[in-house]
Amino acid sequence: MIRCLTISLIVGATLSGCHTSQKTYAAACAVPLSNWGTEKDGVGHLLPLAPFFLGSDGTVIYDKMPTSNNKLRSYMIELSGTNPVPQVVLEVSPAALCERVKEVRSIMNTAPMCKGPHSRCSEGWNAKEWPTSGGP
């Protein structure tokens, strides 16, 4: 009886140790990539905004439409080639899973517009309310 109880406890402890709760944006990964701007950096003077939203279910929304990873990649390349290049802002649901947040950031960050010291990629909320940077 004691032996069965001991085995049950060991197996139970082992199995419970394998289960980890999935981390959410608000709890574990709200810091954007180092080359991305935030509200404190503001929005470039006269730059158009291109907001993307990552929902709690992992769906990316752009221009009011659900967007696949391939389409997201395509949009980022397309936006990088426009004149002027817009300021892309990723808004993330606090309940979005970190694994998905990292995946979306990675896809977006491959675009030329996100590279270098003058990256046009940002992350945060209500970009229309952010202060204007540069210009008169």
Per DSSP, the three-state class of 118 is: coil
What's the sign of the alpha-carbon dihedral 39, 32, 106, 115? positive
pTM for the whole thing?
0.82
Joined tokens for residue 134: 């540069």
**Res. 126 pLDDT band, cuts 50 70 90:** very high
Q: How far is CA 24 from the centre of its chain?
A: 11
pLDDT confidence bin for 133, thresholds 50/70/90: confident
Residue 42's pLDDT is what? 93
Q: Does the pLDDT at position 49 exceed 70?
A: yes
Tell me the average pLDDT of the chain.
87
- The pLDDT, as a whole number, for residue 37 is 95
- Across the chain, how many H-helices and E-strands are there? 4, 7
User: What pLDDT shows up at residue 123?
Assistant: 98
Evaluate the omega torsion of the peptide bond into residue 112 and state whether it is cis, within 30 degrees of 0: no
Q: What is the pLDDT of residue 35?
A: 95
Quick one: pLDDT at residue 20? 56
- Between CA 99 and CA 112 the distance in angstroms is 23
Which has the closest alpha carbon to 113: 51, 9, 35, 52?
Answer: 35
More confident: 3 or 20: 20
Amino acid, single-letter form, for residue 62: Y
CA distance 112 to 119: 8
